[in-house]
């Protein structure tokens, strides 16, 4: 497989994440040719000039892009598969907040208003994307298999479940037992500390970071970095109206939340309230 990884408006966080993949040496051994501006000795200009003249297998783009990026448009026509690596490349994200000419490959935030109308891009949002998400997607494409995608072009293997699923704090969430402070080993972070786990799609609590942890396991709220509206104001707080979160967990009605949360808090097991 011949692959070209290009960087645009980026902090290079997805590159750093990718380099944490444990099987990286084996992955690289499977490429016929792999170019990355931070890892390769060749100049990007000469590599791009060559790839503009031939068909190749995989174009990976890290970072938000500008609408006048003719080179990426032409390269996408030559590539068999195109992958947006990280939320900036998918949605435009932080660089797009202050510049209407900046976007993602297919999307600008939630609108299908990105650089490329075609082809359909395989989107791997995250700030950064998990190294396993990147590597597993590449392995599938090496076999000529395109992952099953959701309505936003994200592989269902990684983005079909809520980040909340698999969280070790779920029992606290169900019984509405709140964390008292950030970094606490106990309590739910949704009600007061802005946790977006029940509102975001990712496998962060099922495919752990570095094989051992996730934000919520470390006592930090999920910031919903895989979603189109990241980053948002007040990352560390939950906006509330009359004690009810302004944004309720996906699939929960306001009426149902009011009824169930009141009962849950009243009958929460003492062992949860008194831990630690």
Regarding whether 139 and 166 lie in a shared domain, the answer is no
- The predicted-structure confidence for 129-172, as pLDDT tens digits, reads as follows 999 999 999 999 999 999 999 999 999 999 999 999 999 999 99
Regarding whether 214 and 182 lie in a shared domain, the answer is yes
pLDDT of 276 above 70: no
| Domain extent for 92 | 2-155
Alpha carbon 58 to its chain centroid, in Å, reads 20
- The predicted-structure confidence for 24-70, as pLDDT tens digits, reads as follows 999 999 999 999 999 999 999 999 999 999 999 999 999 999 999 99
In which band, very low, low, confident or very high, does the pLDDT at 274 lie, cut at 50, 70 and 90? low
Say if pTM beats, i.e. exceeds, 0.85: yes
Regarding whether 138 and 19 lie in a shared domain, the answer is yes
Total count of domains within the chain: 2
- Confidence at residue 33, expressed as pLDDT on a 0 to 100 scale: 97
Regarding whether 236 and 167 lie in a shared domain, the answer is yes
N- to C-terminal Cα separation, the chain: 53
Regarding whether 202 and 176 lie in a shared domain, the answer is yes
Find the CATH number of the domain harbouring 262: 4.10.480.10
Find the CATH number of the domain harbouring 122: 3.40.50.700
Regarding whether 125 and 65 lie in a shared domain, the answer is yes
Average pLDDT, the chain: 93
């Amino acid at each position: 497989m011949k692959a070209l990884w290009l960087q645009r408006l980026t902090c290079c966080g997805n590159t750093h994440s990718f380099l944490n993949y444990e099987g990286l040496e084996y992955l690289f051994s499977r490429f016929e040719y792999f170019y990355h501006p931070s890892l390769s000795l060749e100049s990007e200009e000469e590599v791009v000039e060559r790839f503009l003249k031939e068909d190749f297998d995989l174009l990976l783009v890290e970072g938000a892009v500008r609408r006048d990026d003719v080179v990426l448009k032409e390269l996408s026509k030559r590539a068999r598969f195109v992958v947006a690596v990280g939320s900036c490349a998918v949605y435009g994200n932080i660089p797009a907040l202050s510049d209407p000419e900046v976007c993602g490959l297919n999307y600008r935030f939630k609108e299908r208003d990105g650089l490329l109308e075609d082809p359909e891009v395989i989107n791997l949002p995250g700030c950064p994307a998990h190294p396993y998400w990147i590597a597993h997607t590449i392995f599938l494409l090496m076999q000529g298999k395109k992952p099953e995608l959701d309505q936003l072009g994200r592989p269902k293997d990684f983005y079909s479940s809520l980040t909340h699923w698999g969280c070790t704090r779920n029992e606290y969430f169900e019984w509405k037992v709140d964390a008292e402070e950030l970094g606490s080993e106990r309590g739910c972070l949704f009600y007061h500390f802005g946790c977006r786990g029940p509102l975001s799609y990712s496998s962060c609590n099922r495919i752990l970071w570095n094989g051992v942890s996730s934000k919520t396991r470390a006592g930090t709220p999920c910031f919903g970095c895989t979603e189109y509206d990241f980053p948002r104001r007040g990352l560390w707080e939950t906006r509330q109206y009359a004690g009810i979160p302004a944004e309720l967990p996906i699939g929960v009605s306001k009426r149902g939340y009011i009824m169930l949360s009141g009962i849950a808090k009243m009958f929460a097991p003492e062992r949860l309230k008194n831990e630690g």
